[in-house]
Structure 1
Amino acid sequence: MTNQKQAMLYGLGTVLLWSTVATAFKLSLRELTPVQMLVVACSASVIVMALILVAQRRWYLVFELSRRQYLQSFGMGLINPCLYYFLLFGAFDRLPAQEAQPLNYTWALVLAYLSVPFLGQRLRRADILAGLICYSGVVVIATRGDVLSLTFSDPLGVGLAIGSTLVWASYWIIATRDTRDPVVGLFLNFLCGLPVIVVICGMTDGFDFSPTTGLFAATYVGVFEMGIAFVLWSYAMKKAENTARVSNLIFISPFLSLVFIYFILGEIILPSTYVGLVLIVAGLWIQQRKTRETMARASSA
């Protein structure tokens, strides 16, 4: 099997896992509060990433970092998982999955915009066009099709979803200067963020976890969305001979996610969700297409 075929298989595996997490979020949040869900998911993720590092014989890398890198782990852990997932789970707690999930996909566009002031990159016309298309899709979804009224179905929920994209994009901008092994870095971020989450949970909602669907769904999120999916995607990027073909797979995820949302959660998918999601994906495709063209020209120069 060629490296490209392996990369596509890893990428498809990642997309399949990403497509299920919106459903898992909602199943868990039916019985747990957002902070309780985060405690369970983050704990499961830490265990899974530790096992992955042991299996890959890279556990020793955890102990070979500088003091500055350990401090970095704590700082980045406050952003992800702490702040990011507080906002994301809060959004899913208030909004239907079919609304929260597409809004979260706009983080890639936010990353392009934040890269201008923080990384010194130029804002292209394609980025502006993509933004107009994407956020028109956001308005369609958030107003459930009643665009002219500009009355959001749940303003706080929409705000939390948009806020999570800002935090996630900021996290990846900071990560551009991260020299740690990717899996080691993510493991330490979650390990350092977990005690903060535990303290907040203890001071607010407590630890009354019973072995129900909500607990198992939160564990699923930690094992797959926060752990295995990240490793699979890293393998896909590493194996890829044509990264554009692999990265295009992410556009399957939001549509496949609606299938799980409909059949498992029983949500009736509104026409406005389809329209808004198509606009969001179209905007992201325009933005990513121009980025790939620029990278291709640079590599051939």
Structure 2
Amino acid sequence: MQNRSARLYAAAAILIWASLAALGVKLAHLPPFLLVGATLTFAGLITLPTLRQWRVPASTFAIGVAGLFGYHFFLFVAFRNAPPVEANLLNYLWPLLIVLLAPLLLPGTRLTRRHLLAAATGFVGAMLVVSKGHAGFDSSYLGGYGAAAFAALLWASYSLLTRRVPPFPTAAVGGFCLVSGLLSLSCHFLLEPATPLQAGDLPWILLLGAGPMGGAFFLWDKAMKTGDAREMGLMAFLTPLLSTVILVLAGGGTLDSWALAGGLLIVGGALAGTRPTASA
């Protein structure tokens, strides 16, 4: 029953994250750090009624902020210093890293051949969906590639370490969001041109802050704390596929053969890796 609930939390988080691209199109004119800062700050502000539950050890709070702010910071550094497709491919190392790092960070967890094969299949599928067969890594962008890989490592580590630290209420994620949002806004003022928000931006910022840049983090926290980390990682490969499907439904993309082939691999890998066995 616990695994079933965790899968539902993870599925909800992944589905909400998949809406990010379609919703983000509405705010494409905003610089990245301003967009992340505004949405994360809103996500933190709307959870202020749970402020008393934000009292967690300093080390736990640092892990939370490193996960949310650190991940987005290095991802945007990657997008600035490497081609977006290749940077995004490396970004999708994070589900694979969750699977691979689980035995190292979570005592009592081990990997089977089935998990490794499922993770490799899911990653190849995600690569096909994201790259559409046109990725080409260039050594002149090593700095950007490194930033993308480090972002993936930060998010995978954060996701797993929430199980390793002393138990804390999921409401504390609101504090992680608020501090990460304020740090992102600071990066905007330091690194990006001043960009005034327009009246029409507010509804989309609120929607993003309540959804893929806010609410999904709370659902993911519940999933990682209560479920099998290896399964959560495998399910996360569905994110780029679902994102493509939502974009198509919103009229902003096409479901080509690369997405279909990648989707089959992702779904097949996830099903193979999450089916219950006596030995897993």
TM-score tier, shorter chain, comes to: 0.7 to 0.9
Q: Counterpart in 2 of 1:171? A: 158
Q: Name the CA shift for 1:236/1:14 in 2 (closer, same or farther; >3 Å).
A: same
In structure 2, which of residues 79, 98, 102 is the aligned counterpart of residue 115 of structure 1?
102
In structure 2, which of residues 53, 57, 68 is the aligned counterpart of residue 81 of structure 1?
68
User: What number of residue pairs does the alignment pair up?
Assistant: 274
CA contact (8 A) 2:235 2:270 kept: no
In structure 2, which of residues 217, 241, 250 is the aligned counterpart of residue 264 of structure 1?
250
Q: Counterpart in 1 of 2:26? A: 27
CA contact (8 A) 2:119 2:234 kept: no
Identity, in percent, stands at 25
- 1:232-257 deviation line (CA, Å, top 9, x unaligned): 567789999xxxxx999978765543
CA contact (8 A) 1:106 1:134 kept: no
For 1:176 and 1:10, the matched residues in 2 are separated by 16
Q: Counterpart in 2 of 1:285? A: 271
Q: Which one has a bigger Cα radius of gyration? A: 1
For 2:251 and 2:145, the matched residues in 1 are separated by 20
For 1:139 and 1:14, the matched residues in 2 are separated by 21
Q: Name the CA shift for 1:138/1:159 in 2 (closer, same or farther; >3 Å).
A: farther
For 1:131 and 1:201, the matched residues in 2 are separated by 36
Q: Which segment drifts farther, 246-255 or 184-193?
A: 246-255
Q: Which segment drifts farther, 200-209 or 10-19?
A: 10-19
Shift of 1:136: 2.5
CA contact (8 A) 2:91 2:151 kept: yes
Q: Counterpart in 2 of 1:151? A: 136
Q: Name the CA shift for 1:184/1:284 in 2 (closer, same or farther; >3 Å).
A: same
In structure 1, which of residues 124, 128, 139 is the aligned counterpart of residue 112 of structure 2?
124
CA contact (8 A) 1:42 1:81 kept: no
CA contact (8 A) 2:6 2:222 kept: yes
Q: Name the CA shift for 1:122/1:237 in 2 (closer, same or farther; >3 Å).
A: closer
Is the partner of 1:269 in helix, strand or coil? Answer: coil
Q: Counterpart in 2 of 1:48? A: 46
For 1:112 and 1:236, the matched residues in 2 are separated by 14
* One-letter code aligned to 1:19: A
Shift of 1:202: 1.3
CA contact (8 A) 1:24 1:217 kept: yes
TM norm structure 2: 0.72
Shift of 1:261: 0.7
Q: Which runs of 5+ in 1 are unaligned?
A: 54-58, 241-245
Shift of 1:271: 1.7
Q: Counterpart in 2 of 1:199? A: 186
Q: Counterpart in 2 of 1:61? A: 53
CA contact (8 A) 2:38 2:205 kept: yes
* One-letter code aligned to 1:140: L
For 1:130 and 1:210, the matched residues in 2 are separated by 44
TM norm structure 1: 0.68
- Taking only aligned residues, the RMSD between alpha carbons, in angstroms, comes to 4.5
CA contact (8 A) 1:31 1:214 kept: no
- 1:147-197 deviation line (CA, Å, top 9, x unaligned): xxx6359x7887766544322111122211233433233122223333332
* One-letter code aligned to 2:110: R
CA contact (8 A) 1:77 1:192 kept: no
Q: Which runs of 5+ in 2 are unaligned?
A: none
CA contact (8 A) 2:95 2:233 kept: no
Q: Which segment drifts farther, 183-192 or 224-233?
A: 224-233
* One-letter code aligned to 1:182: P
Is the partner of 2:116 in helix, strand or coil? Answer: helix
CA contact (8 A) 2:41 2:180 kept: no
